[in-house]
Amino acid sequence: MLMKKNKDLEALIERIDNNVANNYKDAAQDYLKQYETRLQELLEKNALKDKQKAHYESLLDNYKERLKEFRHKDQKPYWT
């Protein structure tokens, strides 16, 4: 059985992925914060089923780990 997707969260995930793909670091970080905030709102309202909750929380953890050093200030100049 397929899990029903949450449109709000899926739209934010798409934006994060697009910005990562285009190396837009600040925008990707902003959308990650929006995703985390929206996920928390939905969790507080009990608006997600258990499968959805596990899926989206897992994605949040993965994105946080993946984007931990995905910032301009962490970028190493290529000439060093």
Per-residue pLDDT at 77 exceeds 70: no
User: Is residue 28 within 8 Å of residue 16, measured between CB atoms?
Assistant: yes
What would the mean pLDDT of 42-61 be, rounded to a whole number?
A: 97
Q: Which pLDDT value is given to residue 49?
A: 95
* First vs last C-alpha separation in the chain: 51
Residues 62-72: tens digit of each pLDDT: 999 999 988 76
Of all residues in the chain, the percent with pLDDT exceeding 70 is 86
Q: Which pLDDT value is given to residue 35?
A: 98
Q: Confidence class of residue 3 from pLDDT cuts 50, 70 and 90?
A: confident
- Planar angle of CA 22, 25, 30, nearest 5 degrees: 115
